[in-house]
Amino acid sequence: MEQELKGHSAIVTGGAQGIGKAIATELASRGANIAICDVNEKALGETAEEIKKKTGAKVFVKAVDIAKKALVDAFVDDVMKEFGSIQILVNNAGIHPLHPIEEISEEEWDLVMAVNLKAMFLFCKAVLPGMRKQKYGRIINMSSEAGKHGGTVAACSYAASKGGVLGFARNLAQQVGADSITVNNICPGRIVSAMANAAGAEANKKFIENSILKRIGDPEDVAFAAAYLASPRAKFITGESMMVNGGTMRD
């Protein structure tokens, strides 16, 4: 594997499992130092050891409530002390409660917005001073098909948060482009993950039927897209949203 990210350091939020783990592993395999935060402390340790063994990369992990500014700032400071600089930020962490609007409490709505949208803002705000100073950066935000077409019948809070991710990235790209910092989104379709399991077999079957490739995606499918957007080669792509969905939605 070409070590195109050698000397780069990457933060991946929600990186202990699923898509985040696949992204962290892929970036590490391309030479990057990896910093992972998650709320699952046990999985963090296991993932760190697995990535180290598989890639030989340096891995820093910490359990973080990403909706709290002080904890986000402290984590970014720790990563800077550990690696010296941050070139890549992947805002991957997200939650997806499946409730119709009548069953969504104010507390649940606020939590979805905090994890899926506010945390992305906090991390971008924390890493940008360093990226601006070094005149280089790659920011990748995990949106969703749901942010574009509204998603499933339930979970309007999730769709709203992921739509917010799209607008945020398009605006931020304009603010930081002069410093050679790119900001892009990835919009996965149905991927093998805890979210897909929660949706159930019937919903997954409908997705497959609507897919050109007739399958659910693998976490690695998203990881390969993230690795490209995180690379120096993606220097002329910003403010964009890459669909990784097997052809269920085309634009």
The catalytic site residues sit at: 158
- Dihedral sign computed on CA atoms, order 220, 240, 164, 32: positive
Q: Which parts of 129-194 are beta strand (E)?
A: 137-142, 181-188
3-state secondary structure of 132: helix
- How far is C-alpha 153 from the chain's CA centre? 24
Residue 249 and residue 251: Cα distance in Å, rounded? 7
239: left (phi over 0), alpha (psi -120 to 50) or beta: left
Give the Å distances, CA to CA, from 29 to 3, 4, 5, 139, 217.
7, 10, 9, 19, 21
Which of 90, 91, 96, 92 is closest to 113 using CA atoms?
A: 96
First to last CA, the chain: 32
